[in-house]
Structure 1
């Protein structure tokens, strides 16, 4: 494989770090209902911290991508496959930004947010979104529900798109016999 057909080491690191953090965050929040009561708040706080971390890493990944051109798609990919891959990647980036932002907005609209300061990984104070915190209570409660629903539905869309992303990579690697995984593996 030609060196220019691979992603940079920084792009690979950010890709896999974001993917791992998202997998941990999904597993954590899906398991939280099975935790003892005294573990729930720390688990939810960890979920928030990972989400904010993912948001920062995705912004870094986008800045890297804008300044370091990704490798071209193999010439064997059809126009429809190339279009679908670009559309899926764009949508994945949008969701990786929307999910943490909608979660942050949901948390900022929580009626008890003022009584429970947020700290990233129990260390770094993190602000809530001020304009949301200062909305009158009835509207804030309605926004809390709306932002929560947006967060959940964006998550479901991400799950489906992630499955297509993995299936596409595996199809190109094992059926089409393209060195697809090698482009993103160190």
Structure 2
């Protein structure tokens, strides 16, 4: 009997759509997590273009993350390897759902913060300079004092969520590398094209 046709020894992979969405979203998140550190040192004339790029990537990540979540809810992922301990399975599921929550919450808090920016009306948000992306109307319509409070509060939450994303990213990558290199599982191959 052909072992490959029987599925023995084969890596149970995610679908091509899930893999593509995973890596595009992952790259977008990494770029957006790094950009704030760059604009702090970029000089005043470069800050606004970097912030605008950050916003465009954030909105793109939000859309792709929602697509990925819908895909995940309608397509069963491959089973985790049988060698995983029960606590590892639970931790893996919890970490993945926490990642989904952060991937959606980060751009939403940024969008709300940007919509409450005092100069939002005078500086339309552009999606990679191609077209105007709408801000959240009810937030823009708030009185100036409330708007400043919303801007500052959501800005703080956005920053805290960014640190939480760094921590969860480190946990996610660390766990994948542990399973790959310490446990001998073909973990990375499950999410490679």
Of the candidates 129, 138, 144, which is equivalent to residue 145 of structure 2? 138
Of the candidates 64, 73, 80, which is equivalent to residue 66 of structure 1? 73
> Which 5+ residue runs of structure 2 have no aligned equivalent?
1-8
Work out whether 1:126 is the aligned partner of 2:133.
yes
**Could you tell me how far apart the structure 2 residues matched to 1:106 and 1:50 are?**
15
Query: Greater shift after overlay, 14-23 or 161-170?
Result: 14-23
> Which 5+ residue runs of structure 1 have no aligned equivalent?
none
* SS of 1:114 mapped into structure 2: coil
Give the alignment's TM-score, normalised by structure 1.
0.97
| Partner in structure 2 of residue 117 of structure 1 | 124
| Partner in structure 2 of residue 104 of structure 1 | 111
- 1:51-62 map, 5 Å: 51-62=58-69
How much is the aligned-residue C-alpha RMSD, in angstroms? 0.9
Aligned length: 185
Give the alignment's TM-score, normalised by structure 2.
0.93
Of the candidates 165, 170, 179, which is equivalent to residue 177 of structure 2? 170
Of the candidates 37, 48, 51, which is equivalent to residue 41 of structure 1? 48
Of the candidates 2, 8, 13, which is equivalent to residue 10 of structure 2? 2
Of the candidates 6, 25, 30, which is equivalent to residue 23 of structure 1? 30
Structure having the higher helix fraction is: 1
| Partner in structure 1 of residue 87 of structure 2 | 80
Which of the pair has more CA radius of gyration?
2
**Distance apart, 1:29 and its partner CA:** 1.8
**Could you tell me how far apart the structure 2 residues matched to 1:156 and 1:23 are?**
12
Runs of 4+ in 1 over 2 A off after TM superposition: none
**Could you tell me how far apart the structure 2 residues matched to 1:178 and 1:87 are?**
20
**Distance apart, 1:2 and its partner CA:** 2.9
